[in-house]
Copies of this chain bind each other. A is one copy, B any other.
């Protein structure tokens, strides 16, 4: 598969994080010439937080993570495989997963609810647990600096790995935040994205880590869409390995810089997922303002971002902004047609319910010919605001998805 034209020029290198060791292996379950299994160990344990799919058909690993998070225990290990999502596989799927977890428990000297699991790939096919167990029995070499291999091992239709790292100050201590994620289709996360993993050596109480993750998640992973299809497996997990003087109040101002850097890292990863959206050639930012409230603004922004007619117009570099009007209209949220203001790039296109005088279509077309598309819509009824990110809908999306399994 050819690399997305929106891919970053270089792959960022992630530093070590104290208390995190990683290793990968090739099970050959679906992919023939690459690693598809990731094992992360936290020998001293890690505080863990998670946001998981709201799908009513969530996968066995998602259910397992949800149960683990309720236990409130430290995490000792994370096991991820790519190519089979172990979703909609019933009791047999749970049994398969549990046989993998049992082996990880032996390796990590821990118990079942200290092991986190994530699977991504085809839905409805039974996980070949024995292929994973074989690799676990042979032994997977886990090291401090395997971040690049780790992020490669979880990819499916992705065309580039998605990595990010930040340093943040907590008081006078400098801590690191590392993260990696995968896309690239079935991306319309509600609570989380396909798979995203975040690691930090900060010392954070579980409630604090969960609050930070949930709040930033709404503005990052939950604000992107590739194709409006929410996965059965969406999972973002955050692990914090710091042990001494854990911060227990999410409002403590000592966290200000950490919050900012975590927010930057999560935005970075979620934007990389959009930039690697299946078939994507344009990165589209949609800002909606003037809505009844922020939730309403987000629904309108998502209505624009998920409209196949808006996405194909942008793919075709056709300044058919009437389709944005259509998408505002169909969102079902309050909007004042006769005050609607649409800006494309730097040009105001409409005002007071119709095209502005002196509108220059060539300027819009030029903007659509670029890679980075900016659309702003003010719906004229209140103060609500939201920004979401998406990509265009192209022939390659059809090609990739009309024949994904073969």
Binding site for B on A (CB under 8 A): 53-58, 85, 87-93, 122-126, 185-186, 188, 190, 227-232, 306-309, 312-313, 315-316, 318, 320-323, 325-335, 337-338, 340, 350, 352-355, 393-395, 397-399, 401-406
A354 touches B124 (CB 8 A): yes
Q: Give the distance to chain B from A209, nearest Cβ to Cβ, in Å.
A: 27
B-side contacts of A329, CB under 8 Å: 53, 55-58, 230, 232
User: What residue in chain B is nearest A406 (Cβ atoms)?
Assistant: B318
Instruction: Choose among B315, B322, B328, B404 the residue that contacts A320 (Cβ–Cβ < 8 A).
Output: B404
Bound-state CA distance A122–B309 (Å) is 12
A330 touches B230 (CB 8 A): yes
B-side contacts of A58, CB under 8 Å: 329, 337
On whether A57 and B325 interact (CB within 8 A), knowing A124-B355, A354-B124, the answer reads yes
B397 touches A325 (CB 8 A): no
23 contacts between A and B (CB under 8 A): A54-B332, A55-B326, A57-B328, A87-B322, A88-B353, A90-B354, A122-B322, A124-B354, A124-B355, A185-B309, A186-B326, A227-B308, A229-B307, A229-B326, A229-B327, A230-B330, A232-B325, A309-B401, A312-B397, A312-B398, A316-B403, A318-B402, A394-B402
User: What residue in chain B is nearest A306 (Cβ atoms)?
Assistant: B228
On whether A330 and B188 interact (CB within 8 A), knowing A58-B337, A123-B322, A308-B308, the answer reads yes
* Chain B CB within 10 Å, residue with most, of A88, A232, A395: A88
B-side contacts of A309, CB under 8 Å: 185-186, 227, 229, 401
A326 touches B57 (CB 8 A): yes
B402 touches A88 (CB 8 A): no
Q: Give the distance to chain B from A278, nearest Cβ to Cβ, in Å.
A: 10
B227 touches A125 (CB 8 A): no
B229 touches A404 (CB 8 A): no
A229 touches B313 (CB 8 A): no
Q: Give the distance to chain B from A337, nearest Cβ to Cβ, in Å.
A: 5
User: What residue in chain B is nearest A393 (Cβ atoms)?
Assistant: B398
Bound-state CA distance A38–B233 (Å) is 52
Bound-state CA distance A88–B324 (Å) is 11
On whether A313 and B354 interact (CB within 8 A), knowing A56-B335, A322-B87, A322-B122, the answer reads no
Q: Give the distance to chain B from A305, nearest Cβ to Cβ, in Å.
A: 12
Bound-state CA distance A60–B2 (Å) is 46
B-side contacts of A232, CB under 8 Å: 325-326, 329
Given contacts A125-B322, A228-B307, 4 further A-B pairs with CB under 8 A are A122-B322, A125-B355, A188-B330, A227-B309
Q: Give the distance to chain B from A258, nearest Cβ to Cβ, in Å.
A: 33
Bound-state CA distance A56–B299 (Å) is 14
